[in-house]
């Protein structure tokens, strides 16, 4: 049976929860990426994962819709032997007027080991983590953070390029509403990458440069010589009013196509967290080009990253190998 469980493994991350990337050190991020990389090397079809989460319960508590993140956490938890309960609360308790905290208290009375929470409000997951007595993983809160997405993006880049330090990464599109952008900015700048953000003025938060990035309104200028092009979805569900003149115009100026990609390094990788709006922020054929696009690999790395996070956050609850 494959074991990644060593005594030293919880020395690298000593927090009870994973709420965001902001504030984590380069060592902590490297530790999580190394462990994720070890999980990524295991063959899922060999059915040889150690059941580290046997008799553990993971509750996926999603107040917002999700396909890949929820499924990815579910698969990761099940591969480690956990019981998984999926709860979509958007249309049930919330509609009946139950508050976030009431929902959390109800769930903790069932004694889960980990709560994976997605919520439309920034900060809601942190608030919840202060009220419950189990590990909490932020599965995306409003436009604030999506830490496991940034980790899986970094793992994908590291596997392809061997490092993060010194790379130039362009994050393009709806930066304003994107928790993916925020978590990636924190992670990549902490790890020594240079980050550019490219967006129309209406979709770039003011003062974004204080996060250590360079801002561009002109995509052609911003893509010049970058190593990685990370595209973001236009998050219309977070927009009140109109932020872009028309989809056609948006694609013309900010959609990634071969011509614009030609300005990046010849081997620049194309990434997207999904779900993609094909023909809006990315040319459909380019998204599927296995020579340039690593979008599928990002999904694959997502499971490995989530296994590592579940492993690390439940470790103190298990006896050490010596039974201490
Ligand atoms: N799946 C990512 C998120 O939950 C990106 C997106 O929805 O556009 O933030």
Element (H, E) at 222: helix 219-223
Give pTM, 2 decimals. Answer: 0.93
Check if the beta carbon of residue 162 is closer than 8 Å to that of residue 188.
no
Check if the beta carbon of residue 286 is closer than 8 Å to that of residue 58.
no
Strand partners for 195: 169
Strand partners for 170: 196, 229
φ, ψ dihedrals at 232, nearest 5°: -120, 150
Closest Cα to atom 1, ligand 1: which residue?
274
The rounded distance, in Å, linking the Cα atoms of 202 and 184 is 20
Quote the pLDDT of residue 73.
98
Mean pLDDT of 164-184: 98
180-196 burial: b if 16+ Cβ within 10 Å, else e? bbbbbbbbbbbbebbbb
Determine the residue of 119, 144, 146, 173 to mutate for testing ligand 1's pocket, defined as the one with the most ligand atoms within 8 A of the Cβ atom.
146
The rounded distance, in Å, linking the Cα atoms of 174 and 205 is 10
pLDDT digits (tens, 9 = 90+) for 301-313: 999 999 999 999 9
User: Does position 1 have pLDDT exceeding 50, yes or no?
Assistant: no
**147 CB under 6 A from ligand 1?**
no
**144 CB under 6 A from ligand 1?**
no
User: Does position 164 have pLDDT exceeding 80, yes or no?
Assistant: yes
Mean pLDDT of 241-268: 92
Task: Give the atom of ligand 1 at the shortest distance from the alpha carbon of 149.
Answer: 2
pLDDT digits (tens, 9 = 90+) for 92-120: 555 556 678 788 788 888 899 999 999 99
Determine the residue of 21, 148, 172, 180 to mutate for testing ligand 1's pocket, defined as the one with the most ligand atoms within 8 A of the Cβ atom.
180
The rounded distance, in Å, linking the Cα atoms of 163 and 191 is 9
If you average pLDDT over every residue of the chain, what do you get?
Answer: 90
Q: Ligand 1 centroid vs 275 CA: distance in angstroms?
A: 7
Closest CA to 237 of 277, 206, 270, 200: 277
Closest CA to 150 of 267, 238, 271, 62: 271
The rounded distance, in Å, linking the Cα atoms of 140 and 48 is 30
Chain centre distance of CA 299: 10
Quote the pLDDT of residue 76.
97
Quote the pLDDT of residue 4.
58
What is the chain's percent helix, strand, coil content, to nearest 5? 40, 15, 45
User: Does position 162 have pLDDT exceeding 60, yes or no?
Assistant: yes
């Amino acid at each position: 049976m494959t074991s990644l469980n060593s005594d030293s493994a919880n020395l690298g991350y000593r927090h009870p929860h994973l709420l965001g990337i902001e504030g984590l050190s380069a060592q902590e991020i490297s530790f999580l990426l190394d462990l994720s990389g070890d999980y990524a090397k295991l063959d899922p079809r060999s059915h040889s994962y150690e059941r580290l989460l046997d008799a553990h319960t993971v509750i996926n508590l999603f107040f917002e819709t999700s396909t890949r993140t929820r499924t990815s956490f579910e698969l990761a938890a099940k591969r480690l032997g956990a019981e998984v309960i999926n709860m979509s609360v958007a249309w049930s308790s919330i509609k009946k007027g139950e508050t976030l905290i009431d929902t959390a208290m109800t769930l903790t009375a069932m004694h889960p080991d980990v709560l994976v929470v997605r919520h439309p409000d920034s900060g809601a997951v942190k608030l919840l983590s202060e009220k419950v007595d189990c590990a909490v993983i932020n599965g995306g809160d409003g436009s604030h953070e999506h830490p496991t997405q940034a980790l899986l993006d970094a793992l994908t880049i590291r596997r392809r390029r061997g490092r993060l330090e010194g790379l130039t990464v362009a994050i393009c599109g709806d930066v304003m509403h994107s928790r993916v952008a925020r978590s990636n900015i924190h992670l990549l700048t902490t790890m020594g990458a240079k980050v550019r953000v490219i967006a129309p003025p209406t979709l770039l938060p003011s003062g974004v440069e204080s996060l250590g990035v360079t801002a561009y309104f002109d995509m052609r200028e911003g893509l010049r010589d970058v190593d990685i092009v990370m595209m973001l979805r236009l998050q219309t569900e977070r927009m009140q009013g109109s932020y872009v003149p028309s989809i056609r115009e948006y694609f013309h100026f900010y959609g990634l196509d071969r011509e614009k990609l030609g300005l990046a390094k010849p081997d620049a990788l194309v990434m997207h967290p999904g779900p993609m709006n094909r023909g809006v922020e990315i040319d459909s054929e380019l998204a599927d080009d296995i020579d340039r696009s690593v979008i599928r690999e990002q999904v694959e790395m997502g499971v490995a990253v989530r296994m590592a996070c579940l492993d690390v956050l439940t470790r103190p609850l298990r006896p050490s190998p010596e039974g201490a």
